[in-house]
A and B are shown apart, each in its own frame.
Chain A
Amino acid sequence: MKSLNEFESFFEKEMMPDLRLLDKRRKVIVRRSMMVVLFSVLALLLLVVVYMNFGKADGQDSNILWFIIAGVLIVVGGIIAGSVWARDKTFYTDFKTQVVERIVTFISPDLTYEPKNHIGSDSFQRSRIFLKNVDRYNGDDMVQGKIDKTQVWFSEVKAEYKNTTTDSKGRTKTTWHTIFKGMFFIADFNKHFQTSTVVLPNRLGKGFLASFFNKMNLARREKHVRLEDPDFNKHFVVYGEDQIEARYVLSTSLMQRITEFKEKHPNPLYISFVNSFLYVAIAYNKNLFEPSYFKKLTRFSLVKEFFEEIQLAVSIVEELNLNNRIWTKQ
């Protein structure tokens, strides 16, 4: 595991030159975008003047002049907008290959990064974490590779479902709702098992009513599994197809490790174990690995954030001790 200090010196030495160049491009894009906005506003103002003067006898000549100037402004603005777009098109991809990819390979040379690829929706649904039918699914920033003995895959994903309503006048309205947005992580688990076990955030807390409603989850084929670790139960509620296999997978030490992981990272955490694979979904409100145009790229805090987000996914392997292959599965 690479430390933040190691990363900082890597950032200073290896990444700075590229980041400076990217930052120059960012500044040009921002400056030109501002000009486009300015020109459009001016052209609009002129057109308003032309409109107000229209029909007045003494204003005809100046009207034509204003009209021409407005036209020129629009054309020039359009050209600048086109050039911004041409630069912008490659800006994000260049940023990702020059910055994010290098962070990934810095963390481990065994990992590969594909900015436009993502975890497939079939894997997402196989995890059995979210049972809602997915109508729209996309993502990016796929990382895959081996961490010591454990094969991992992770990417940013966003899954949504559609809600179509028809009002009394027969008009249909479609709204989209997010099922999950954030980091989706898959790893080859270190034990063999056949059934599915799902660990979900305990939204209801403790108490009689909470445990009653947690117990009755009618939507799932998995049954409630009552585990003995009170700290773990405070954060999570578990459903499994097989009571014994659920406990085989969630050993007392793994429950402790998951609790510790959760206490370090406050984002909503969903975990499932299906067919000898581990699935982890960590919800985020923002887009991952995408810089803002209005902030300097050469700040350490920006890349530090990306580094920590990737490191968080990679750390799952160590924190949950997946490289501990003392069972028959190698």
Chain B
Amino acid sequence: MEGSVVLLIVLGVFALFVILGYNRLVGLRNTVDKAFASIDAMAKKRYDLIPNLVATVSKYMEHERGTLTDITEMRAKAVSGNLSDNEKVDLDNKISRAMGGIMVAVENYPDLKANQNFLQLQGSLNEIEEQLSAARRAYNSAVTDYNNACQMFPSNVFAMMFNFKTRRLFEITEVERQNVDVKSLFG
């Protein structure tokens, strides 16, 4: 009789432990997903600005026509949906690089640099770039918390039991470092 009560208590405590551990992992994973979704939202905001940018810039820039059409095509592909997460990140990096190139080329067009419309666009783009970088940092921080939970004892036991996989961190790409330079050029 006594023995079964003890067994029951031990089982109960164990079950509680499992439930709490499992819920914590789910909570952390949801934070990661939410953070990834906000990166996506920021990227969309940037796509929305591209047609405007192309329209403003194309009047002035003659030698960069090719780059501008490239950007427009890439944007169309990005907003069309049905891309995997990895493809999204890839495309996003390409767009970043192309836009960085345009911003550097602006230096050669003094008229454009004085254009009020363009200056405002440039402000918005800088802002979104900074928000995007903030979202990526938030994502990395959430992933670190989640990965820690997946790899550290005792939560790693539940992670294995319920098949929680670690996620990859967003690496700060070469492109992004370059973007920072571009910003300071126009500062």
Q: Is the CB of B141 within 8 A of A328?
A: no
**Residues in A neighbouring B122, C-beta threshold 8 A:** 326
**Per-residue interface assignment for chain B, residues 101 to 138, with 1 indicating a CB less than 8 Å from any chain A CB and 0 otherwise:** 00000000000000000001011101100110111011
Q: Which secondary structure dominates where chain B touches chain A? A: helix
Tell me, yes or no, whether B93 is within 8 Å of chain A by CB: no
The answer for the CA separation of A192 and B145 in the assembled complex, in Å, is 29
Q: Which residues from 229 to 248 on chain A have a C-beta closer than 8 Å to any C-beta of chain B?
A: 243-248
Task: Output the nearest chain B residue to A328 by Cβ-Cβ distance.
Answer: B123
Question: Looking at chain B, what size class is its interface with the partner chain?
Answer: 20 to 34
Tell me, yes or no, whether A27 is within 8 Å of chain B by CB: no
Tell me, yes or no, whether B156 is within 8 Å of chain A by CB: no
Given contacts A244-B38, A326-B126, A328-B120, contact A226 B141 (CB under 8 A): yes
Given contacts A191-B130, A324-B187, A327-B130, contact A247 B137 (CB under 8 A): yes
Q: Which of A226, A227, A248 is within 8 Å of B130, CB to CB?
A: A248
**Per-residue interface assignment for chain A, residues 137 to 151, with 1 indicating a CB less than 8 Å from any chain B CB and 0 otherwise:** 000000000000000
Q: Is the CB of B186 within 8 A of A326?
A: yes
Given contacts A324-B187, A326-B183, A328-B120, contact A244 B126 (CB under 8 A): no
Tell me, yes or no, whether B147 is within 8 Å of chain A by CB: no
Q: Is the CB of B140 within 8 A of A228?
A: yes
**Residues in A neighbouring B133, C-beta threshold 8 A:** 247, 251
The answer for the CA separation of A192 and B138 in the assembled complex, in Å, is 18
A205 → chain B closest CB, angstroms:
20
Q: Is the CB of B138 within 8 A of A243?
A: yes
B100 → chain A closest CB, angstroms:
15
The answer for the CA separation of A93 and B120 in the assembled complex, in Å, is 47
Task: Output the nearest chain B residue to A247 by Cβ-Cβ distance.
Answer: B134
Q: Is the CB of B140 within 8 A of A326?
A: no
The answer for the CA separation of A302 and B75 in the assembled complex, in Å, is 62
Q: Is the CB of B123 within 8 A of A327?
A: yes
Q: Is the CB of B186 within 8 A of A248?
A: no
13 contacts between A and B (CB under 8 A): A226-B145, A243-B142, A244-B35, A244-B135, A248-B131, A251-B130, A252-B137, A326-B122, A326-B187, A327-B123, A328-B120, A328-B124, A328-B127
The 6 closest A-B pairs by CB, nearest first: A247-B134, A248-B134, A328-B123, A327-B127, A243-B138, A244-B138
Given contacts A252-B137, A326-B122, 11 further A-B contacts (CB under 8 A): A191-B127, A191-B130, A227-B141, A228-B141, A243-B138, A247-B138, A326-B123, A326-B126, A327-B126, A327-B127, A327-B130
